[in-house]
């Protein structure tokens, strides 16, 4: 029996998890959408509220689970009068640098909300007539909000809204306006790769043979051994590695009639607690269904789902080890009392 348990331990030493530590990492991104110029007040005629194509590029650093610092380039496009009743060619172009703080609120393992605020150092160029041009550089405040989805641990997509207040040409005071953008943004996080991790098992207690006694006294010895079956990101499906472990548990269960198995399903601490509870229930149910359908023979088979209550990891790499079902096999044997 002990040799077989040791074989399970050797088979379970290495397993692969798609782990990613997003804390203290760099990321880049780009987005595109529509800009809307509002409250437009300019010197001359025919320029009013209008919209154009906007785009941005960002470089960010994740300070911790909830906050990041982000710098970027924001092009708000051109406010022009080409579609209006004039031929003087008046237009205004706005672009510049952004620097701000971004907050993230995870909803579950995939969906999240964002909020941001910062400063926009913009350059405004006002072509008033064919031979009259003025420009200015100044700073305006901006804020924004969005909802995002983690496609993978490295790649995410977000729907973003930003508003820029007080974009003015102050050198000659020829233009005053506000602007807002609505669009889609993609981000890619560096340093996120599949990492080889280890499933740690307790040592198997070695039985020592007592010295011969004229009238030996026997006692019941209880041994427990545990293995962990790991699951993927937001998944309750059994991998081929997990199925191989469960097949070995089924084989061992046929060697001792007094064995008992306890299954404990767990989830990491990301997202809604009730969602994680249901996810841990689905994981432990899949493990129990696999064991029973493949002929496990034990005196008792119990299970429970603990959700995220035992999850305390701070990094994605550690959280990957909490997406699991722990299988504890309890065996009883008669040994000579010492």
User: What's this model's pTM, rounded to 2 decimal places?
Assistant: 0.52
What does each C-alpha distance from 132 to 43, 44, 90, 301 come to in angstroms? 12, 12, 9, 85
Residue 222 reports pLDDT greater than 80 = no
Residue 97 reports pLDDT greater than 70 = yes
Q: Tell me the per-residue pLDDT of 145-190, one tens digit each, with 9 for 90 and over.
A: 999 999 998 999 999 999 999 999 888 888 899 999 999 999 999 9
Residue 1 reports pLDDT greater than 50 = no
pLDDT at residue 203, as a whole number: 65
Across residues 99-122, what is the average pLDDT? 96
More confident residue, 12 or 133: 133
pLDDT at residue 101, as a whole number: 97
pLDDT band, very low/low/confident/very high, at 194 (cuts 50, 70, 90): low
């Amino acid at each position: 029996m002990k040799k077989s348990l040791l074989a399970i331990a050797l088979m379970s030493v290495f397993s692969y998890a798609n782990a990613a530590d997003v804390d203290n990492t760099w990321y880049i991104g780009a987005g595109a959408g529509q800009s809307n110029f509002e409250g437009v007040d300019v010197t001359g005629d025919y320029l009013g509220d209008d919209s154009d194509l906007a785009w941005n590029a960002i470089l960010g650093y994740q300070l911790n689970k909830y906050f990041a610092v982000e710098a970027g380039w924001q092009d708000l496009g051109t406010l022009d009068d080409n579609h209006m009743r004039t031929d003087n060619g008046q237009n205004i172009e706005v672009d510049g640098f952004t620097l701000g703080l971004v907050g993230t609120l995870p909803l579950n393992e995939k969906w999240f909300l964002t909020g941001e605020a910062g400063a926009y150092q913009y350059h405004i160029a006002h072509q008033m007539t064919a031979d009259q041009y003025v420009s200015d550089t100044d700073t305006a405040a901006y804020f924004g909000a969005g909802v995002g989805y983690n496609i993978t641990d490295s790649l995410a997509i977000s729907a973003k809204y930003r508003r820029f207040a007080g974009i003015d040409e102050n050198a000659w005071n020829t233009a005053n306006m506000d602007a807002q953008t609505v669009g889609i943004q993609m981000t890619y996080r560096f340093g996120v790769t599949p990492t080889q991790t280890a499933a740690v098992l307790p040592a198997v207690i070695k039985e020592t043979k007592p010295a011969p006694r004229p009238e030996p006294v026997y006692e019941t010895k209880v041994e427990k051994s545990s293995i962990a079956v790991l699951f993927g990101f937001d998944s309750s499906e059994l991998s081929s590695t997990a199925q191989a472990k469960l097949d070995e548990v089924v084989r061992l269960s046929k060697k001792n009639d007094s064995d008992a198995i306890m299954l404990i399903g767990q989830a990491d601490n990301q997202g809604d607690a009730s969602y994680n509870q249901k996810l841990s229930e689905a994981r432990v149910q899949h493990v129990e269904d696999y064991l029973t359908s493949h002929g496990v023979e034990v005196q008792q088979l119990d299970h429970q789902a603990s959700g995220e209550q035992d999850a305390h990891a701070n990094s994605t790499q550690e959280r990957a080890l909490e997406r699991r079902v722990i299988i504890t096999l309890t065996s009883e044997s008669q040994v000579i009392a010492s």
